[in-house]
Every structure is written in structure tokens, then in C-alpha cells.
Copies of this chain bind each other. A is one copy, B any other.
């Protein structure tokens, strides 16, 4: 039943790798590493430094890309908070295993800087639908899934509504029972995709690098993973916009464009597993299992 697929895959891979013909199907299957190594420079993008956060923890830097076009008000709020050094000296105060880490002003004593306006933004604006790139695979939580500005997303084809999806490494703006949030309370997903949160809270971006500095934090033993008194919170030395950091101190990162031929080949390689290790071909891929490749560009020596 899947006999026709491998040839189509091979042709796609050949195109992505710039080969004149499809590779020999009996040869060693092409891996994601092969695809990335052979990808043209144009298939990668440099995140805008104005949309990139550096969250500095004791063990290293977490690089977060804000989804500014999807949640413009939250992005503006977070940039205002960051420029006011709102997060400096705060801490990660909650780490719930297989769920989320959260950082905010637990004491609620820090005043919000001017211009921060509580906002909802569970969905993107009407223009975003045109930028949505659909994934062929089904989904349990959304009628359609795919990618929006490089982030995993859902879509309702009836209403043309699009929204970001709670995959591993996605970052959101926490809230209480009111629908609004300001960005002053933030969280990142560190477990199995909690997709039940989709359309319930504004996702504002995703971790591009340094995820392990969040995912390895000690779990809190309080309710919902909050640290109790005996557990020291994980301090945040600072949060900065990359554009406010001297160029020499920036992390040079590139993200594979989801609209690129290389990305489509990566997706197909991960959906139809042809490596000798695989005895059963899954033939499907979950939105949150799609790799969204990121690479660090070495800084040229002076």
C-alpha cells in the first residue's frame, strides 16, 4: 500500500539535495543530518534580533524567538518589560515535571512599565491565515495543523482562524482566570505537548537554543510544581533583547525556513522512516514531533 511512497520521497530528497536523479533506494537512507548538511543557505533565516530574547540562567543562556506577527500586543508588552529590566533578579519559581516551567514576579511587587496592556490574543489576526502552511497529517485537537511564521500552529478551515500550538519548547504568557495576560508571567513547555491549552492562553514564541537549561531544572515539590520554601528558585540574572546586546555577545543562530524544500524533505524523512533501525514505518507524524531545525553559526575569528 505504501509501495509508491519511497520513490516520491527519493525524488523530493534528490531535489532538496540538488541531485540530478533520485538516490538509489538500496543505498543508505538519507538522514536529517544529511539533508541539513546539503541545504542551501537560502533555506535558513536569521531571527530578527528585535524579536529574540536572551534569558540568562545560572547554567546558561536560553534563546527565545518571539512570534511578534502572531501576538503583536504580547510581543510589545514583553519587549517593554525586558527593556525595563523587569525580569532581572526574578527567578523560575515553578517546574512541574512533564508540563511547564514558569518565571514571574511571585510577590507581585514590581510595577509594570508604561505601555504594558493586558491582552488576549489566543488567535492570530485575519491576515495570518494566508501565511499558514498546512501539514498533511491529521490532529486530535485542531481540524488542521501546520506552521505559522515558523511556529507550530492550528487552523480552523471553517473560520480561517489560526493559532499557535503547545509543543515542547513553546513559550507562553501565563494568566489567572481572566482571559488576559501581560507577559509578566511566562512559561515554557517541558513535557508531552499539553495541547489542551491551545486556544486557552497566548503563546508568544519558542525556545531556539538552551532548552536544557529549563528542562533540567529541579522539579518543585509544591502543588503544580511550585518550589516550596526549602527549594531555592532558579535565579534569572537578566532577560535582554538580542538587539540590546553588543553584537559580539549575541548567539548567532539560524532557523530552517518551514517554507523551504529542505524543511519539506526533513518532514518527509521523519514521517516515512526508512533507516534500517525502523521495522515499522509510522507513515504519519504528529505536529509536535516535527523537527524545527536550528543551528548555531560559528563566529568568524577576528
Contacts and interface: CB of A to CB of B under 8 A. Distances in A.
Nearest to A99: B168
Contacts of A276: 177
A212 B177 CA distance: 29
A219 interface: yes
A254 to B, nearest CB: 19
A177 B276 CA distance: 6
Interface string A154-194: 00000000000001110000001101000000000001111
Contacts of A191: 168, 191-192
Interface in A120-137: 122, 137
A49 interface: no
A280 interface: yes
A215 B140 contact: no
A21 interface: no
Contact of A219 (B137, B212, B217, B270): B212
A211 to B, nearest CB: 6
Task: Name A's interface SS.
Answer: loop
Given A122-B279, A216-B218, A270 B196 contact: yes
B212 A288 contact: no
The interface size bin for chain A is 35 or more
A177 B277 contact: yes
A98 B196 CA distance: 19
Contact of A97 (B198, B212, B218, B277): B212
Contact of A196 (B139, B217, B288, B289): B289
Interface of A: 97-98, 122, 137-141, 167-169, 176-177, 179, 191-196, 198-200, 211-212, 215-219, 270, 273, 276-280, 282, 284-286, 288-289
